[in-house]
Each structure stands twice: as structure tokens, then as C-alpha cells.
Amino acid sequence: MGIFLNNKIQPREHVIKICETFDNHGLKLSIIMNDYFLKNKVSKSKRPEITFLVQEIMRKKNYLDFLINKTFKGDYFKSHSFLKNTLRLGSYEIIYRSHIPDFAVVNEAVAIIKKKLGKSPAGLVNAILRKIKNIDNGINKSLSQKSSINDLSIILSHPKWILKKWKNNFGWEKMISLCEWNNKIPDLTLRINTNKIDVDTFKNYLNKKNFLFKDSEILPEFLIIKNGSLLRNSSMFKEGFFSFQDISSGLISNLVDIKIKDSFIDACAAPGGKCSFLAEKTNSKLSIQAFDIDSNRIKLLHQTIDRLNIKSITISKKDASCDSFPVSNKILIDVPCTGTGVMSKRADLRWRRKPNHLNEMIEIQKKILNNMSKFIGIGGEIIYSTCSLEKEENWDIIDDFLSRTDKFKFISSKNLVPSNFIDHRGALSTFPSIHKIDGVFGVKLKRIL
């Protein structure tokens, strides 16, 4: 029976259209997918599979393009975006999804292209996909320190400029391990809301639902879970019994070392993972003022807080780089950054980031830290954090700030997080392929004058 006997869009066509939108507009992939799912009324049961395939194509894009281009007749990179993404999806499934018969992948790709672009492109897709496995088998994927940056970019599927920078900053072995980490399908971690349910009861719930998970050895409230995206539609998630959050983000919250009596500001709070964790840790007895810069981020913040039914967090729209804030004795500044520590989960980020973005982020980070330092009382603490691996956004920002003021001093984080996450200067610093969590940086700055 033919696959397109009606006009109903099949999951693979959704994948192609989402990737096409990314190619044409370069927007944040999560925004593209959310808008697409709502506009096209894609059922929630289909979304995890579509999301998985889109993310995998993003991870493997450079390598897939290399393979396809070897047998493409004409200028592949100037070809129709829908055609390119049909070929990427088909090539990915033939090479990496052995449980799906090759003929089924080819037949559906041909049907999709024929429906969209006509017979001639369909013939091209048929010819390329029937050759793609042999082309892949003929590629030498071994790498050495003598490999060219072009070969590295193809095999590791990362932009050349990022590879050059990481090789210079981290060395060969850490660069390779980081790229390989980014190309793996990441496990999700979730944080149990222990105000609503105890850890053992929640584990029993997961066992009854046949979810595979393991305990975090770092933070007791966290679990590492397989197929966790399926839990997003569960009543337990909707009713606030747990949240999705990386363990590294939980470490930042621990760095705050919050006390009930503290006056606390989360200056760049959306989507709300860190401040909601702090609210849960204090049983909602801590008054938290949460801020962010634009309406969309404020909306995300409200969604998190409302879902968790937290009453101790007030939300307002402010720009941390220039607006006035209440004077407080604890301020968390999780600044905007290049996000190079979270590229495993945000597979599109490697393609959206450009070399000039680093300097743009540095300027924003300096402005935010300088401005927020005006609103901390004597004896109070600023917690500065990023999800970046770049020293320019981390220690360089702190060193620059401390060189221009004698009102603050650096405080070591050694007693607040496990010692294996502390760098040689006393800051929280995680590296994804080493610590098996997202990459973050965090320091405490105490006002002394």
C-alpha cells in the first residue's frame, strides 16, 4: 500500500520541514519546533520521535553533507533546502538506524520528494540513497593530530572555527572527546520535587511505568533517565512532581548556599530551573525575586513557576545590564553566553554560533556583572555563572571585574560542591566529556567594602 494515499503529513516529512526552516532562518531550534508543532497540530505522541531525528540530523550534518555531496550531480549546497534535508534524513537512517530496512527509507524519501518537488528530484534521491551506505563504508574515519581541520570538521561534524579554538584552548585529546560527547545522544536528567514526593516513591512510579533510570552520584534529588522526553506528557510533570534539569545546573544552585533569611535575586532567571530548585530546597520559605529581559523569557519563567505551584517567587521584567534592582545580600547572575558547554543537548547551537558572538557575549556579561554589583549589600555575595567552556566568558570576566574594584573578593567554592568539580583556582568548573554532565562555570564574589 502506498504511503501517501491521503494528505496527512507523515513524521519524516515533519522532520524535513523543521530542518528546512532552520536552514532558511537560522532561529533557535527549540523555538522552531515549538512553533511548528503548534501550527501544524502535531500530536504529542509523535513529537519525541520527530525531535530525536531533527536533533540527530543537526549533530551529524557536516558528515552527512560530505557523503551526499560525493555522489550529488550538480551543486548540492545550492540545491533546494527541502531536497537537502530529505537526503540528510534518508542518509542518517540508512547509516545509523539499522533496525529500519534500507528499502523502506528509500521508498519513503522518494515518495516525499515526488510529492513536493516532482519526478526528476525523486529519481536523484533514489539514486543517491541507494549508494550512500557504500560511500559511508569507504570513508576512513580515523583521526590523528596530523588530520587537517577540514577532515576534523567533516568527521566530527563541528564548524572549523570552533575546532581551532578548542584545540588551542584544551589540547587535542580534550577537543576530540568534547566533540564526541556532543555527537552522542544525551541522557536526560530530572530533578525530583521533594516538597511534593519523596525520592523512593518517585522511583517506584518510574519502575511501574517501565522507565529506565539510575541515581545521580552527585545530587540526591536528581535521576538520569532513558527516554525521558516521554515523561513530558505525564500528569506527574504537569503537576510539578519533577522538572527536567541538568545536574550541572543543580550545582550552580548549590553554589548559592542559600539561607532562609537571605534576600535573594535571580537576575537572569528564565526558564526558572535554578530559582525553582532553590525554592524547593527551602520548602518555599525563601522569598525569591526573579527577573529576565524580555516577554518570551518571562513567559517561560511563569510556566515553570506555575507548573510547580511555587508561591515564594515573584517575577518581573528587567534588564540586568542597565536597570535598577532592590539591594539584596545574594544575587545569582546566570549570564547569557555562547553555550559551548551545552552543545550536546542543543545540537543546533554549533551551527548558529559565529566567531563574533563571543565578543558580543563578553560585552553583555561585563555590563551585567558591573550593573548588578551595585545592588549587593556589604557582606553579600554575587554568584556569577555560565554554561560556557570559554575562558573569555569565565575567569577573564571575573579577573577583569576584580581588577577594577576593591569592593569585592573571590570566595572559593570548595566546601559547596564536590571537589572534582573545582578548578585549580577554586571555581566550579565542569567539562562535559570528563564529568559526564553539561559544562558550567560558577564563582562567588563577596562584597567587602
Work out the percent of the chain whose per-residue pLDDT is above 90: 94
Q: Please report, for residues 148, 226, 365, 368, the alpha-carbon distance to residue 384 in angstroms, rounded to integers and kept in the order given.
A: 37, 31, 10, 10
The backbone torsions φ and ψ at residue 334, rounded to the nearest 5 degrees and listed phi first, read: -90, 85
pLDDT value of residue 1: 29
DSSP of 360-424 = HHHHHHHHHHHHHGGGEEEEEEEEEEES---GGGTHHHHHHHHHT-SSEEEE--TTTS-GGGB-T
Report pLDDT digits (tens) over 96-128. Answer: 999 999 999 999 999 999 999 999 999 999 999
Q: How much is the average pLDDT of 366-381?
A: 98
Q: C-alpha angle 165/167/170, rounded to 5°?
A: 100
- 188-244 CATH, one of 3.30.70.1170, 3.90.550.10, 3.40.50.170, 3.90.180.10: 3.30.70.1170
Residue 347 reports pLDDT greater than 50:
yes
Residue 133: is it exposed, middle or buried by C-beta count within 10 angstroms (0-12/13-18/19+)? middle
CATH 3.40.50.150 in the chain, residues?
Answer: 252-447
DSSP 108: H
Give the list of residues 6+ apart from residue 5 with CB closer than 8 angstroms, or none: none
CATH 1.10.940.10 in the chain, residues?
Answer: 11-137
Q: Please report, for residues 60, 99, 188, 247, 434, the alpha-carbon distance to residue 180 in angstroms, rounded to integers and kept in the order given.
A: 11, 23, 17, 20, 12
In which element (H, E) is residue 446 found?
strand 441-447
Contacts of residues 5-9 at CB distance under 8 Å and 24 or more positions apart, as own/partner, are 9/40
Report pLDDT digits (tens) over 155-185. Answer: 999 999 999 999 999 999 999 999 999 999 9
Say if CB 408 and CB 448 are below 8 A apart: yes
User: b/e string for 187-209 if b means 16 or more Cβ within 10 A?
Assistant: bbbbbbbbbbbeeeebbebbeee
User: b/e string for 14-33 if b means 16 or more Cβ within 10 A?
Assistant: bbbbbbbbbeeeeeebeebb
Work out the percent of the chain whose per-residue pLDDT is above 70: 98
CATH 3.30.70.1170 in the chain, residues?
Answer: 188-244
pLDDT value of residue 211: 93
In which element (H, E) is residue 432 found?
helix 432-435
Distance, CA of 197 to CA of 142 (rounded, Å): 48
Give the list of residues 6+ apart from residue 428 with CB closer than 8 angstroms, or none: 251, 252, 255, 385, 413, 416, 417, 421, 422, 440, 441, 442, 443
Q: Which CATH superfamily is domain 11-137 in?
A: NusB-like (1.10.940.10)
Report pLDDT digits (tens) over 181-225. Answer: 999 999 899 999 999 999 999 999 999 999 999 999 999 999 999
Q: Which CATH superfamily is domain 252-447 in?
A: Vaccinia Virus protein VP39 (3.40.50.150)
Report pLDDT digits (tens) over 280-317. Answer: 999 999 999 999 999 999 999 999 999 999 999 999 99
Say if CB 266 and CB 274 are below 8 A apart: yes
Beta-carbon count within 10 A of 264 CB = 23
Over the Cα atoms of the chain, what is R_g? 24
Residue 4 reports pLDDT greater than 50:
no
Distance, CA of 53 to CA of 93 (rounded, Å): 9
Distance, CA of 376 to CA of 380 (rounded, Å): 6
All three cell numbers of 365, joined, read: 556579561
Looking at the DSSP bridge assignments, the partners of residue 215 are 223
Q: Give the CA count within 13 Å in the CB-facing half-sphere of 6.
A: 3
Residue 49: is it exposed, middle or buried by C-beta count within 10 angstroms (0-12/13-18/19+)? middle
pLDDT class of 6 with cuts at 50, 70, 90: very low
pLDDT value of residue 2: 35
pLDDT value of residue 8: 62
Q: Output the pTM of the full model.
A: 0.94
Distance, CA of 418 to CA of 12 (rounded, Å): 44
pLDDT class of 9 with cuts at 50, 70, 90: confident
Q: What is the mean pLDDT of the chain?
A: 95
pLDDT value of residue 229: 80
Report pLDDT digits (tens) over 51-81. Answer: 999 999 999 999 999 999 999 999 999 999 9
